[in-house]
Every structure is written in C-alpha cells, then in structure tokens.
C-alpha cells in the first residue's frame, strides 16, 4: 500500500472531484443528515478555533463558522480544488470573515496550533497512513481539544451503497475478489477495533464510537436514483472500472433493484449507517471527559 495520498489527491482533482463540485447541491442533500448529527455532537462554541478536515464544498465549514461567530476562526482543508472553488464561492456570498479554505493534505500540511475542535464529515477515511495522519492532526489541537467526525460503518449496513452496487455487479457478471477492508476509501474505518486502535496510536483519549443509522433519500424516482448512483459512490467507481459503455445496462439493473424501495411519492430511501466518533487530545496525559453522542 502506498504511504502517501497521491492516488486520492489525483482522484479528487479529476472526474470525481469535478462531479461532486458540479452537483454539489445534489450530494449535499444526501449526506447532510450525518453532518448535522456530527455537528450536534461537536457543538462548536462562540470564539472557538476549528479545523474542518476534508471540508469538500464547504457546507460544514460554513455551519461551524456561524456557530463560532466573528470572534472564532474556521479553516477548511481539502485536497480537491474543484470542490474548494465551490466552498470559496459559497463563503464569498455569505461575507463570512472568520472562515478560510486551504488546498492541502491535512495528514502532512502545516496546520494552525491550539485549535479547540478537529471536525470532519466523511473526510478522514482516505489517508494511506491513518495513524500517522491523525497524530499529525492531533498536534493542531490544544490540550483537551475535541475531535469529532463521521465515517461510514460496514458496507453491509449501508444499503444506499450496496443495493445498487450488487445489482451492477450482477448485471456485469462480476464476482469481486476479497477487498482490502483497510485500504483508503469510504469504508476504511468500518471496523470499530481498528478505528479505536488508529486513534489510540495517534495519541487520542476518551474515544467513543456511536452508531447512527439514518434514512438517505437517494433519488426522486428509481430511475433518478439509479442515474445518481452512476455519478457518486461505489457504483460509480465500478462503472469506471468496467467501462462507461456498460452504463445503460447497469442503470437498468440498478433501477430495477431500487424499485422496491420507492415510497408512495416515488422517492427512493435507503438506510445509511455511520460512526459518530468523539475523542480528545489529552491534558497532561489525561483527557477531559467527552459527552457521548
């Protein structure tokens, strides 16, 4: 496995990053409930200094900036320039002076010191060397500073991802080889024991993982939901692997698989499952208590 994040940086500045940027409003509606859940736990306060890791198009950074107020400071960090361009435009329209964005790899970049909160919504599962990355980011926190982030749990608990992916694989007659569950990617932190070990090795204390299952509205109709799956998530990666020429067959198969999940109004809703993780940077070797989510 590579020891740097070059592959992820290239991907998030390529087609994937541009697609997320161009369809920002569409993706935000899907993942916002998990970000809201993590922000509720993080509870950013007036005057606090906050790092938002993997901030993407800036929605969580802006929410934090509103919470900390003009006396606070928020730095959103991401490797995707297309998504940061959206974040900068959104921030410009709000005229929010306490927020900045930086194109950087948070696992190695110089970060502000004595921050109160390290936050992320699905932005920390892509590091090639996660323990080292978290140790580096922890150094930006003041003693007793909080770390709160959302990350996906196991694929089997995330129907929004696996129902369409399974349909796509079946349509193509593909039986995937055993996956490296620890490889950088959306589900890299699914295993509770591994994630606790990473954070412990990084020097965090009072680590709490709370399961949060939420409904995800993935499309207005089964067809719309199927087409969206070809733009985002594991199914979109599968399509890139087998070739875009197979997209029509895959869309039809995914639409059929999603039809049983359509509500009376036609909207398709599947379950998503995430960890809301809290931890602290110790104070003199002993962390202050953290409220469980």
Residues 101-106, mean pLDDT to the nearest whole number: 97
Asked whether the beta carbons of 44 and 68 are under 8 A apart, the reply is yes
The answer to whether residue 2 scores a pLDDT higher than 50 is no
pTM, 2 dp:
0.91
18 is written with which tokens?
A: 């541009």
Give tens-digit pLDDT for 127-165: 999 999 999 999 999 999 999 999 999 999 999 999 999
Q: Measure the CA–CA gap between 171 and 250, rounded to whole angstroms.
A: 6
Beta carbons of 186 and 31 less than 8 angstroms apart: no
The mean of the pLDDT values for the chain is: 92
- Indicate whether 232 pLDDT > 90: no
pLDDT computed for residue 176 by the predictor: 80
Q: Is the pLDDT of residue 291 over 70?
A: no
Going from N- to C-terminal start, the domains of the chain cover 6-154+180-213+274-280
* Strand partners for 109: none
Is residue 26 scored above 90 in pLDDT?
Answer: no
The CATH superfamily assigned to 6-154+180-213+274-280 is Vaccinia Virus protein VP39 (3.40.50.150)
Residue 290 has pLDDT above 50, yes or no: no
Cβ(158)–Cβ(271) below 8 Å: yes
Sheet with 141-152, side-by-side order of all strands = 99-103, 73-78, 49-53, 115-121, 141-152, 268-280, 205-219
């Amino acid at each position: 496995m590579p020891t740097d994040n070059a592959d992820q940086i290239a991907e998030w500045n390529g087609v994937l990053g541009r697609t997320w940027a161009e369809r920002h409003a569409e993706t935000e509606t899907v993942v916002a409930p998990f970000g809201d859940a993590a922000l509720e736990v993080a509870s950013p306060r007036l005057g606090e200094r906050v790092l938002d890791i993997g901030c993407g198009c800036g929605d969580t950074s802006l929410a934090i900036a509103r919470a900390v107020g003009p006396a606070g400071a928020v730095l959103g960090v991401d490797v995707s320039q297309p998504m940061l361009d959206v974040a900068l435009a959104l921030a410009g329209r709000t005229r929010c002076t306490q927020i900045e964005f930086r194109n950087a790899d948070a696992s190695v970049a110089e970060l502000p010191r004595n921050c109160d909160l390290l936050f992320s919504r699905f932005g920390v599962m892509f590091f090639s060397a996660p323990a080292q990355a978290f140790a580096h980011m922890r150094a930006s926190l003041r003693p007793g500073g909080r770390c709160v982030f959302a990350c996906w749990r196991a694929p089997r608990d995330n129907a929004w991802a696996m129902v369409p992916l399974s349909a796509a694989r079946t349509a193509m007659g593909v039986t995937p080889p055993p996956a490296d569950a620890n490889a950088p990617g959306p589900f890299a932190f699914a295993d509770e024991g591994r994630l606790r070990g990473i954070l412990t090795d990084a020097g965090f204390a009072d680590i709490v993982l709370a399961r949060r299952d939420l409904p995800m509205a993935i499309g207005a109709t089964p067809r719309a939901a199927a087409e969206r799956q070809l733009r985002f998530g594991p199914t979109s990666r599968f399509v890139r692997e087998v070739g875009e020429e197979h997209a029509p067959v895959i869309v039809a198969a995914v639409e059929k698989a999603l039809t049983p999940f359509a509500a009376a109004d036609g909207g398709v809703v599947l379950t998503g499952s995430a960890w809301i993780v809290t931890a602290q940077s110790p104070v003199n070797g002993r962390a202050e208590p953290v409220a469980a989510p």
